[in-house]
Amino acid sequence: MKYKFLLVLVLIVLTLVVLNIYQKDIKNFFYNFSLPVERCFWRVGESTADFFANIFQTSLKDKVDALETENQALLSQLIELEELRAENKVLGEAFGAKLNEEFSLLLSDIIAKDGSFLMIDRGYSDGLAEGMAVITEGKVLAGYLETVYQNAARVRLIWDPEVSFDGKVFGQTAVSGLLTGNGDSKLVLDLIPKEAGIKEGDLVSTSSISGLFPEGLLVGVVEKINRTDLDSFQTADIIHYFDLDLSKDLFVILNHEN
Amino acid sequence: MKIKYLLSIVIIYFLVLFENSFLEHFAVFGFVFSPALILVIIYNILENEKKFFGVYLALISGFFLDVFSDHFIGYNILILILLSLFLKLVFNKYVSFPFKKI
């Protein structure tokens, strides 16, 4: 009886080891034929959730008012940016620098979500590779490809605690720091020099120091600054702009190698 | 009898897909309702102690949950099998039901 139990235990362990050696192939096999069903479930879920959100949305007017105010502020910023762009163009031509490098993008649909991971319906058969950055149509950073299967890929979202990358805050001057997910739909920007003049509401984007993501992808906005006399650096809580409810489609940047 | 085992694989497969793709939109405080897990719990509570179909359901549910998640294959299998054995032990030893178990 004792030997029988041990034999069963050894068999289970061996089976699990073998399954994990071929884990990617097994998952690939299931993802290949589950794609249409998952896509269908995701779309139905999305429209059902939207339907109920509209019914239970009580503060819609407040939201519209806030968005209108934000829109006006953004319009004034847009004018400033247009002026800066014109200035940049002149400087770029003068120094022969390559400005506004365009990305080569691949459109993909979200088909499933699991914690801080998303599944998209494109894989290595579409030219995807692990490590590629994933953005929204507004050039907001969503995450990067962690595992790529034949016709699907798993995206690790930026707020996952295991994600950390370099970012830039646009305060009085641009300041670099280290962005880390805190697993709670937020990010923490660390290693900001104490003398850096950043404030709540400053925009945060990616920088290209580590090469993990291309420069200039929008990440979020500074929510709160944490500054103590004991620490040598200041940190900031960042609200990211990537909203799964607003982003129906995602784009994978194909021409950036990390 | 074989149909019961095959049918349970198909049902659990669709339940896990449903959880990952449909129910993800209805997460409450980040928690998603898991029909496969509920099925395993209820079946094991109601099952006769001498039968082990509930453990088989735990194995299949764990396998599909692992396949469609980021975990290594075996993570959910082990958790669900241990959970089902625990439920069998507790509900058969310490709880009596006013009806005949399945």
Q: Are A134 and A117 a contacting pair, CB within 8 Å?
A: no
> pLDDT tier at A198 (50, 70, 90 boundaries)?
confident
Q: What DSSP assignment string belongs to B40-79?
A: HHHHHHHS-TT--HHHHHHHHHHHHHHHTSSSPTTHHHHH
Find the farthest-apart pair of alpha carbons in chain A and give their distance in angstroms, rounded. 85
Q: Are A116 and B30 a contacting pair, CB within 8 Å?
A: no
> pLDDT tier at A1 (50, 70, 90 boundaries)?
low
pLDDT of residue A99: 45
Q: Are B57 and B39 a contacting pair, CB within 8 Å?
A: yes
Q: Does residue A98 have a pLDDT over 60?
A: no
The whole-angstrom distance between B31's CA and the closest CA on chain A is 9
Residue A114 is nearest to which of B26, B68, B77, comparing CB atoms? Answer: B68
Is residue A163 less than 8 Å (CB to CB) from chain B?
Answer: no
Six-digit token pair at A40? 């269908």
If one compares B1 and A152, the residue with the highest pLDDT of the two is A152
Q: Are A236 and A188 a contacting pair, CB within 8 Å?
A: yes
Q: What pTM did the predictor assign?
A: 0.79
pLDDT of residue B10: 95
pLDDT digits (tens, 9 = 90+) for A217-251: 888 888 888 887 777 788 888 888 888 777 778 89
Nearest to A175 by CA among A223, A235, A113: A235
pLDDT of residue A244: 78
Q: Do A16 and B69 touch (CB under 8 A)?
A: no
Is residue B49 less than 8 Å (CB to CB) from chain A?
Answer: no
The whole-angstrom distance between B98's CA and the closest CA on chain A is 34
The whole-angstrom distance between B32's CA and the closest CA on chain A is 9
pLDDT of residue A101: 58
Q: Give the span between the Cα atoms of A13 and A18, in whole angstroms.
A: 9
Helix axes A23-56, B2-21, angle to 10 degrees: 60
Which of A45-54, A98-107, B19-28 is most confident? B19-28
**What is the average per-residue pLDDT within B45-49?**
85
Q: Give the span between the Cα atoms of B31 and B34, in whole angstroms.
A: 9
Which one-letter DSSP state was computed for residue A130?
T
Q: From residue A106, how far is each of A38, A134, A142 by CA, in Å? A: 20, 9, 14
Nearest to B27 by CA among A45, A160, A31: A45
Q: Give the span between the Cα atoms of A191 and A209, in whole angstroms.
A: 14
**What is the average per-residue pLDDT within B25-33?**
85
Is residue B9 less than 8 Å (CB to CB) from chain A?
Answer: no
Q: Does residue A100 have a pLDDT over 60?
A: no
Residue B25 is nearest to which of A48, A146, A154, comparing CB atoms? Answer: A48
Paired residues of A141 in beta bridges: A135
